Structure 1
Amino acid sequence: MKRTFRILLAVVGVLLALIIVAIIALPLLFDPNDYKAQINAAIERQIGREVDISGDIGLSVFPWLGLELGRVDVANAEGFGDEPMAQMNAAQISVKLLPLLSRDIEVGTVSLDGLRLRLARNDEGRSNWADISEHIAEGQDQAAEEEQTDAPEDSEDESGFTLESLQIGAIDIQDAAVSWQDATTGADYRLTDVTLSTGRLVDGEPVRLEFSGDVAAPAEKFAAEFNLITRIEPNIAEQFYRFSDLSLNVLANGEAVPNGQQQATLGGNGEFDAAEGRLKLSGVSLQAAGLNVTGSMDGTGLNAEPSYSGRVTVKRFDPRSVMRELAIEAPATQDSDALSSAGFDAQFTANNDSVQFKQVLATLDASSLKGSAGVENFDNPAATFDLDLDELNVDDYLPPGSAEQAQTEKPPETGGGQEQKEAEIDLSALKDLRLDGKLSAGSLTAANINVTNAELTVKARDGVLTIEPLTADLYEGNVRVSARVDASRDTPRYALKGNLNGLQFQPLLKDVADTERVGALANMNIDVTTAGKQVASMKRALNGTFGFDLRDGAFNGFNLAQVIASARSRLSGDGAPENGSGIGDSETTPFNRFAASFNVVDGVMAGRDLNLVTRVLEASGSGSYDLGKNALDYTVNATVPENASGKLSELAGLTVPITLTGNLMSPSYSLDVKSALRGAAEKRLQDEKAQLENKVREKLEERGAEVDGEVRDRIKQGLQRLFGGQKDAAPANENTDSSPDAQ
């Protein structure tokens, strides 16, 4: 038995020796270059395209079964030019023989040099590789049919060769280039100077990968250099891949690149489970143009209905610096420190049809915005938001001088005056806007008006924007307003309704119109509609109601009683003329109440119920104000009380008409003191007449028995002729006009 075993070992040894000798001798006895024609023909039959192996073919057998190829060209499809679709200068691959006995594949370094791959699509939408795919598919179908026909009926499935493991020493690709030209879109993209190198590739073990090259898009005038380094851990059997320490650097240049050149760096880690359709990214960071963006993402359902969730953070940055990096001219602002700091942080969820941001924290300078926002239905976007703003001064971000210009009649640097009135308001953004949101603000300043604790609910559908309600605290009072903008028609329509209660009017006027003319506790109401494409046409189409009720206040720089008294003094010649405007630094007209209501018809406000109650007189009034022309035409009837003293005593109990005309904020006025004095003279004559008649009547009654009827009638006729003749004997006084031209 032992002798037999020794003989078998000897036979096996001899056989192995013969095999080794044959393997070593094979390359010496066999030259694959002698069979180039057959190899070319075999490849052409497989792909249906002409192949030219012009370089040498090298073959090695032991201990590595290796193949070396020189220049190889694959012809292009008809109609795509004369250059080869694919070509390479050299390629090398080798497999270790002995591990094959245990069904293990151990591949050496796979190298490829000078690859050129020219991919294209013609104007009919057909690619230059479509015929290769079709030819291979036909061959596979034919082979499957032949195999099924030749297979014995009673044959059983065999497992065949099963791969136990795969190892690749390395991959080394040098000087590769890929181009893509699409005649249907005009796209022209080129990838050149590509290098790809890896370490040892073993399934389940990490490997280092380096990938670099140049990418260009000549039509877009864009080019970039890129370099990617990462560590990959593949698990081919389970279709699971992990990468870590990714570092991608891109240097872009060209006319399409801001400032002609930009650099970006991307880093992070990730996992991809192809079987489960899941992608996870962590520690992602992007640095570019002065921005530092970090984030993470978890994607699921990638094989069916993908959805994503994660977080994105834009660290604090200088917006002006970023705009300079991107060749964007930073706007000039009223506050030179505006646009100096910003940031963003939010969690997000997204799918093919929507994106939602939660726990939003956005900052701009000293302002911060918190809440949530989202967009649904990308084909017809609908936006939602619920945001809370702590404070914001909008005026800080307007052009220099805008706040002061807004208080003037024609702010030239902001397109004011007639040009602004005639400019059409662009509401095209409302046509397709779908919006549903809520916004609150702790403090908000705009157009010099400061509001606090503001809240609004806004909706937009089918070209109609609705704000209902807007509530806020305003100058120690509160406001509640609803508004509507209807841009669904050719001529936009507007509606505004609201109330102001407990408002301190003087600081509001100071901020809005830079005047302190009136100070009081104010209540106001407005309910108006209008239509138009320009501000001027909107003023002309204004209709509705407006009213105000001011309590416990004063007209600053205007003393109504003094104006009336001065006018009386000028008429009588016993006083110096006053300034025609009636304005003095220390002059005031305190009042208990100043109220009025107006009906607005086609841009003209008209009212008849003005009521003014001061400590020294009362007034009522009526008239109109044309918004389009900024023209005031109003008459105030000031009534002097019966117990008036001093210079007003001559007008005691009488009404002095005061006519207001011109600009609403600086009107001219005129006082008709002449009529008031004429009325006073007529009243005195009437009183004296009545007193004399009473005295005569008393005398007649005392001596009634002594005077007959005829004598009594003659006395009455004489009295009537006496007083009737003096009826027009009133003092000849003149009106007093306080307009600038009537001093």
Structure 2
Amino acid sequence: MGSGLFVVLLVGAIFILPTLISTDTYRARLETELSRVMARDVSITGDIQISTFPAIQIETGAVALANAEGFKTTNFVEVEGLDAKVKLWPLLQKQVEISQIRLNSPNIWLERKADGTVNWSTANTALAQNATLSEPRAEEGFQRDGRFTDYDPALDLLSIKNGQIRFIDSAEDRDVSIRNANLDLRAPALSKPIKIDGDMTLDDLAVAIAAELASPLDFLNGDRTPFDGSVTTDLGNVEISGHFLASDALNIDAIFDLNSSDPLGMAARLPLPEHIKLPALNTVNAKGRVVNDGAEFNVTDLETNLNGNGFDVSYTGQFSSSDTRSAKGAFKVNLSDMSVVTAYLSEPVPALNALNTLNANGNLTWNGNAFDITDLVAETSGEVIDASYKGTARYERSLSADGRFDVKSPDVARLVDKLELNQPDTAALKAITATGAVKIAGESVSVTDLQAKATQGLVNGNFTGVLAFDETLSMQGSAQADIADLSALNAALPRVIPFADVAKRVSFAGDVRLANGTFSLNNTDANLTEGDVNGSYRGEIALGQAPDIAGRLTLDVPSLRTLSTKRNVTLPANTPSGSIFEALSISGQVSGVPDLLEFTSGKMSLDGLSGRGDFKLSLQTLRPTLTGKIAFSDLNLQPYMAAWSAQKPAGQIVPWSTAPINVSGLNAIDADLRISAPSIKMTRLALGDTNARLTLKNGTLESRIENSDLYGGTANGIFTVRSTDGSPSIALSADIKSVKAQELMMSMGGFDKVTGTSDLTMEITGSGKSQAAIMRTLSGKGQFTAANGQLLGVNAETLLKGIDQAITNRQLPSALGLGQTTNFSDLTGGFTASDGRVSLQTFQLQSGALFMEGGGGIDLGEQTLDIGIRPKLNSGSDVANFGVPLRFSGAFGQAKPTLDTSLLGQIAQAKARKSAVDAVKDRVGGPLGNIIGGVIGGGSNEQTEKTPSTTETPTDATAPAEETNQADDTVVPEKAEETKPEEEVLKRLNGLFGGKKRSD
């Protein structure tokens, strides 16, 4: 009964309590309790109402929580209304103890100053500063050392409905607004779990949060305290579960799990530095264990994955941050769009243009300064390249690597184009492959076990060996290369390859070495085949600081004629005398350095000609210098001379050429060559053992023959060509001694009617821009002698003795014809030349009583001649004492020998007068006879003895006697059809002095 009454009274008290308690009485106490709970000065300005059903609850109007001093706003929190549930027994004792608080539409201002001071710290409030709490100094920061355990909010629930939160961060220059915040905080006691959950809108982003701390008391005392929490948004979620470590600081050991479906949207809401640019991320996932013990911050069991447009990156391992940061784990990178990389480069890297994908995985170790990657497998591909690398890599101020690589490209030219390299020579290549082992250490790169191969291109080949690059490039290995068609390669390249139109296949094999600035080829086997110019080289080549060349060189031209046709050079045609300018072959040993080469044991052949010799080529002077000697076997030049002669129109003398002669090539090289041959055969001239020296110095070419055997005698001569102001000048000096006259004259002029031993000397010079100009400037002199010989085909003495009969009776003397000879002891002649006009002088033949003299001239420029000779008997009778004048005149190739019949008539008249004078003198006698004889004779007969002057030019000499001789037309009448005796004599003399008719 008593207990029931107590209940009834208690219930009644609850219902009548609101009418018994004055709100003004509890306003101050409520503000005091709220200030205690909030650790802030709280002021209530609105009305206060108390209700007891269904629970004891106090409702207020506007409430304000004061801000700490020094911050921008006066209040920390402003609430439109506050609902608080209070405990009954303290309330009956006029004490207010709040168990739950609900803030309706609060406005909360959170602020951090530039110095890091925050307004939500209770240490900054006046209430806290006046309390008995042992607060740390401002510079110490928050400490879990038990100093905050005196404050126990004992709040079952703090609820915020439709709250507005603004965070002003002057330290990071941020201003964050939170709207529609609905949060519930449960903190029943310091020793019990504290929980918070709710949702809000953060800059238009819906955010839900949940967190729990197992024991705030343990946390504040620095004991191990479990906790967990989560943040859920439309952009991603974060979950964390673990515990605070036993320490004074906020040290934790927790498992976290983060995932985001919109990483860029999430990053845009984070205070990231402006210079950080994120790629087009689609998703981010990360989970692991984080441990912060105060000394180190470690993340273990880390699993991350970043997926975006064109890439996928993952990392599994650990991360540590202490005095130095470090990481260790396995990574994987897959790039399907290389622009992901190029967007982060400060400068374009053209090499990335060739790549479409990159896949890499390996084990990463980072010690804060250096990155080490082991078990690295990287593969990249593009339209024109595929490459892979397996090994290790390290980066610490510089890159180092050690592994194997494999590179393939189906089209090198396109690859180079994508790399933006200006390498037009790559047009020669097509597909390449390369494999090997590479080591990189800073600026040093070495490649071993290199196997490179080029196929399907204009240049194909392979290389096996090693490469190294430090300050200089070095290499060593074996190489092979092949060019199937040099002309096709020439067409593909921007520069001209010499002889590409006449050479075809080029192949090379050998050992290659480049070291210390010297490039060497050993065991070289180079070949040029299948073309109009072929050859080979076997030996060694070294270029650079220690150059050296030693090997055997061959050159083979199957047909110079075919080669010259392709070079638009016209060569003389083949003749019945033989084929010319066909096969050419050169071979020999080459040694020396690039600027001083020696060619020894050389063999040369052209058509049927062959020789051996040694040469030396020097490039150490202003002009290249060629020296050496060559010994030919028998030289038969007849086919070549016959070919040159065959170029002339048959039966014609070609005018001298007026085309300019280019002698600029004489200044291209200097030379000193000695040439020998046991015999040299030309069209008409044959030399025996011959030694010649050819020199070319400063644009002057000199050919010198020394003591060559010539028809039983010797020949010496010098022929010189100079380049004077771009025009050629020539000089010829010859000295021929003790030769067989018949063979010499037959070979030189087709004249075989003189025998004996002869000497010939001459000196001739000339100059001009063309052949015609040179012929009009020839000047010089010469002398010919023959001794103890015979004139064949004529008995001059018998001819002269019978000339009277030939003239008066017009009957042929018997002294002409086969088997007739004229012995002589001396035959001499000489000439002088000036401006292309040659004057024959002192032509004399002496044989006992027989004497012959002659003279005349040759105009080389105009290609005409006029020469007269006159044989006579010093002790002869009749006409023989006066001699028989013969004349050779006309244009080159048309000149004919004739008897000067006009002069013969004068000789006959002189003979008649002489007979009459002798008769008068004999019959009359005395002075009278002499007077009468002088009248009949009419003067001296010396006029009839005159022959063409040796100083006369062809135009000054007596004109050819074309008219019929009228001196003695009363002698035996001639018949029209009969041959005149002088013509028959002329015919015989033509055989004597004209020789065989020349074809040219």
TM-score (norm 1): 0.65
| Letter of the structure 2 residue corresponding to residue 308 of structure 1 | D
CA distance in 1, matches of 2:840, 2:710: 27
Note the C-alpha offset of 1:674: 3.8
Note the C-alpha offset of 1:544: 2.0
Task: Give the RMSD, CA atoms, in angstroms.
Answer: 5.5
CA distance in 2, matches of 1:491, 1:324: 26
CA shift in 2, pair 1:274/1:501, >3 Å: same
Tell me the equivalent position of 1:382. 624
CA distance in 2, matches of 1:456, 1:401: 24
Tell me the equivalent position of 1:595. 828
Mapped contact 1:251–1:261 kept (Cα < 8 A): no
CA shift in 2, pair 1:279/1:178, >3 Å: same
CA distance in 1, matches of 2:468, 2:931: 130
Note the C-alpha offset of 1:228: 1.8
Tell me the equivalent position of 2:523. 282
| Letter of the structure 1 residue corresponding to residue 482 of structure 2 | L
Is 2:355 aligned against 1:88? Answer: yes
Relative contact order (alpha carbons < 8 A, sep ≥ 6): 1 or 2 greater?
1
CA distance in 2, matches of 1:29, 1:438: 94
CA shift in 2, pair 1:68/1:282, >3 Å: farther
Q: 1:411-560 residue pairs with structure 2 within 5 A? A: 417-418=654-655, 420-431=656-667, 433-445=669-681, 448-468=684-704, 472-489=708-725, 492-556=728-792, 560=796
Mapped contact 1:566–1:575 kept (Cα < 8 A): no
CA distance in 1, matches of 2:309, 2:591: 56
Which among 610, 615, 640 is matched to residue 372 of structure 1? 615
Mapped contact 1:180–1:189 kept (Cα < 8 A): no
Note the C-alpha offset of 1:383: 2.0
Note the C-alpha offset of 1:539: 2.6
Q: 1:226-241 residue pairs with structure 2 within 5 A? A: 226-233=459-466, 241=475
Is 2:420 aligned against 1:178? Answer: no
Which among 452, 455, 458 is matched to residue 225 of structure 1? 458
Give the 3-state SS of the residue equivalent to 2:657 in structure 1. Answer: helix
Is 2:503 aligned against 1:267? Answer: no
Which of the pair is proportionally richer in helix?
A: 1
Give the 3-state SS of the residue equivalent to 1:487 in structure 2. Answer: strand
Note the C-alpha offset of 1:367: 1.1
CA shift in 2, pair 1:337/1:428, >3 Å: closer
Note the C-alpha offset of 1:524: 0.7
Tell me the equivalent position of 1:318. 558
Tell me the equivalent position of 1:121. none
Which among 442, 446, 454 is matched to residue 212 of structure 1? 454
| Letter of the structure 2 residue corresponding to residue 390 of structure 1 | F
Tell me the equivalent position of 2:547. 307
Which among 114, 121, 125 is matched to residue 383 of structure 2? 114
Give the 3-state SS of the residue equivalent to 1:396 in structure 2. Answer: helix
- Which range moved further: 426-435 or 57-66? 57-66
CA distance in 1, matches of 2:568, 2:967: 74
CA shift in 2, pair 1:660/1:116, >3 Å: same
Is 2:477 aligned against 1:243? Answer: yes
Aligned length, in residue pairs: 605
| Letter of the structure 2 residue corresponding to residue 336 of structure 1 | S
Note the C-alpha offset of 1:526: 0.7
Tell me the equivalent position of 1:197. 434
Tell me the equivalent position of 2:537. 294
Tell me the equivalent position of 1:362. 604
Mapped contact 1:632–1:667 kept (Cα < 8 A): no
Note the C-alpha offset of 1:686: 6.0
Tell me the equivalent position of 1:611. 844
Which among 807, 811, 822 is matched to residue 571 of structure 1? 807
Note the C-alpha offset of 1:485: 2.7
Note the C-alpha offset of 1:91: 4.2
CA shift in 2, pair 1:339/1:181, >3 Å: farther
Give the 3-state SS of the residue equivalent to 1:178 in structure 2. Answer: helix
Is 2:569 aligned against 1:347? Answer: no
CA distance in 2, matches of 1:585, 1:72: 106
Give the 3-state SS of the residue equivalent to 2:724 in structure 1. Answer: coil
| Letter of the structure 2 residue corresponding to residue 533 of structure 1 | K
Note the C-alpha offset of 1:469: 5.9
Note the C-alpha offset of 1:390: 0.6
Note the C-alpha offset of 1:247: 4.5
| Letter of the structure 1 residue corresponding to residue 357 of structure 2 | A
Note the C-alpha offset of 1:479: 1.7
Give the 3-state SS of the residue equivalent to 2:538 in structure 1. Answer: strand
Mapped contact 2:353–2:419 kept (Cα < 8 A): no
| Letter of the structure 2 residue corresponding to residue 628 of structure 1 | G
CA distance in 1, matches of 2:704, 2:669: 17
CA shift in 2, pair 1:384/1:242, >3 Å: same
CA distance in 1, matches of 2:490, 2:428: 18
| Letter of the structure 2 residue corresponding to residue 318 of structure 1 | P
Note the C-alpha offset of 1:593: 2.6
CA shift in 2, pair 1:178/1:363, >3 Å: farther
CA distance in 1, matches of 2:766, 2:570: 37
Note the C-alpha offset of 1:532: 1.9
Q: Identity rate of aligned residues, in percent?
A: 14
CA shift in 2, pair 1:624/1:91, >3 Å: same
Note the C-alpha offset of 1:541: 1.9
1:526-580 CA-partner distances (Å, limit 9, x unpaired): 12222222333323322221110123444455664566466533422262599xx
CA distance in 2, matches of 1:635, 1:261: 56
1:307-363 CA-partner distances (Å, limit 9, x unpaired): 232224226562369849979899543323752352322313334x55554444333
1:234-260 CA-partner distances (Å, limit 9, x unpaired): 578998643236353545665956999
CA shift in 2, pair 1:518/1:677, >3 Å: same
Tell me the equivalent position of 2:861. 628
Unaligned runs of at least 5 residues, structure 2 = 1-257, 268-275, 282-307, 318-328, 387-394, 440-444, 492-498, 942-965, 970-980, 991-1000
1:183-237 CA-partner distances (Å, limit 9, x unpaired): 9x996864775331326679999746242256xxxxxxxxx53332343255789
Give the 3-state SS of the residue equivalent to 1:569 in structure 2. Answer: helix
Unaligned runs of at least 5 residues, structure 1 = 1-27, 42-52, 118-139, 145-159, 215-223, 412-416, 697-715
Give the 3-state SS of the residue equivalent to 2:828 in structure 1. Answer: strand
CA distance in 2, matches of 1:162, 1:201: 10
Note the C-alpha offset of 1:299: 1.8
Note the C-alpha offset of 1:595: 0.9
CA shift in 2, pair 1:524/1:245, >3 Å: same
Give the 3-state SS of the residue equivalent to 1:114 in structure 2. Answer: coil
Tell me the equivalent position of 2:202. none
Mapped contact 1:195–1:212 kept (Cα < 8 A): yes
Mapped contact 1:424–1:533 kept (Cα < 8 A): yes
Give the 3-state SS of the residue equivalent to 1:421 in structure 2. Answer: coil
Tell me the equivalent position of 1:638. 871
Note the C-alpha offset of 1:668: 1.7
Give the 3-state SS of the residue equivalent to 2:805 in structure 1. Answer: helix
CA shift in 2, pair 1:316/1:501, >3 Å: same
CA distance in 2, matches of 1:181, 1:161: 25
Give the 3-state SS of the residue equivalent to 1:283 in structure 2. Answer: strand
CA distance in 2, matches of 1:248, 1:30: 59
Mapped contact 1:113–1:175 kept (Cα < 8 A): no
Mapped contact 1:75–1:84 kept (Cα < 8 A): no
TM-score (norm 2): 0.50
CA distance in 1, matches of 2:314, 2:460: 35
Tell me the equivalent position of 1:126. none
CA shift in 2, pair 1:480/1:684, >3 Å: same
